[in-house]
Chain A
Amino acid sequence: MVSPETTRPSTDQIRAWLDIVPDPEIPVISLVDLGVIRDVQWVGDTCEITVSPTYSGCPATAVINFEIEAALRRNGVESITLKRQLSPPWTTNWLSDKGRANLEAYGIAPPQAAGGPKHCPQCKSTNLAKVSQFGSTPCKALWRCGDCLEPFDYFKCI
């Protein structure tokens, strides 16, 4: 007889599946890169995923939950529960290094503890000015480079 432990995928395997699910609004980073997947565990035969929302009103939250379920179902996991965890609140410190590098390559300056972008993601100039505290999504602010004159998104540090 085969025990459930040997047939069900490992939590590392599940994390790997979620690491190729793109963020619905910033597709160059995965849900794991974003830091919203706080825990993956088996409770009996049910896979329980703990998710922390980024911003309370972020419209992507519902889509993220849907994408998690879809990714697990694609891989044959049928019984899934999603747990919302508000505390500790999600912070940009949870972004992975891979995610930060991908953001920059995509043209979005990654968050910095100092509160503003390190340099222009296009030309690397440090001659920068903030245009608006909010950008195209709740998690971003709008900045402009004073040298190449390109506006760019900055992933807000919270």
Chain B
Amino acid sequence: MTESTLGHADHAAPRPGGARGLVADWSSDQRAFKNVSWGKAMMWIFLLSDTFVFGCFLLAYMTARMSTTVPWPNPAEVFALHVGGTDVPLLLIAIMTFVLISSSGTMAMAVNFGYRRDRKKTAILMLLTAALGATFVGMQALEWTKLITEGVRPWGNPWGAAQFGSSFFMITGFHGTHVTIGVIFLLIIARKVWRGDYDVGARGFFTSRRGQYESVEIMGLYWHFVDLVWVFIFAFFYLW
């Protein structure tokens, strides 16, 4: 805590931590987030707004599932894969979960190597993250195809409550879109890292501002958030 207190202006007097620090940071005419740049603060606030979007989706799903008088399809059976003569429940979903967690792990390490100014390792780990993310989207496409061929539609399905299809396509579709955007975002930042834009302080194409390795951490925040949302979808939609 104390080391990050000094983060922004290392020659300024150390600021109080804990609850006293909370009040001191928010009071009087000054910037509230002391050692966080505007880019990082804005990413956090965007993620907060995204939390509400996904929160509302999951709430709508909860309301549909609780209020219907028709039985809800059993996700363990719907998402089972037929492997070696037996049905293994949620096999593809479990693999997707592990792939996404692994991509989060490689992303965290990319951020770490970025701050150590290890250009190559950062770029390689980011590309690995993007590859795992693309694998995840591919498996999701496979799952959608399987369900659509089995007759699941937003307005009905062969096993029970009609709202199952609409909730499923809405929630996983929106999450998959986030992963896809994240992969594109990762490739753009990885290219900048690979070229050494952050080492020489090259100006960005859109903003004309000098980039920093902090961009890798901001990218990481978005990517970890996508993983975080999947944790909640996995628990509430697939396991519940």
User: Are A and B co-members of a single complex?
Assistant: no
**Chain A interface residues (CB < 8 Å from chain B):** none
B residues near A (Cβ < 8 Å) are none
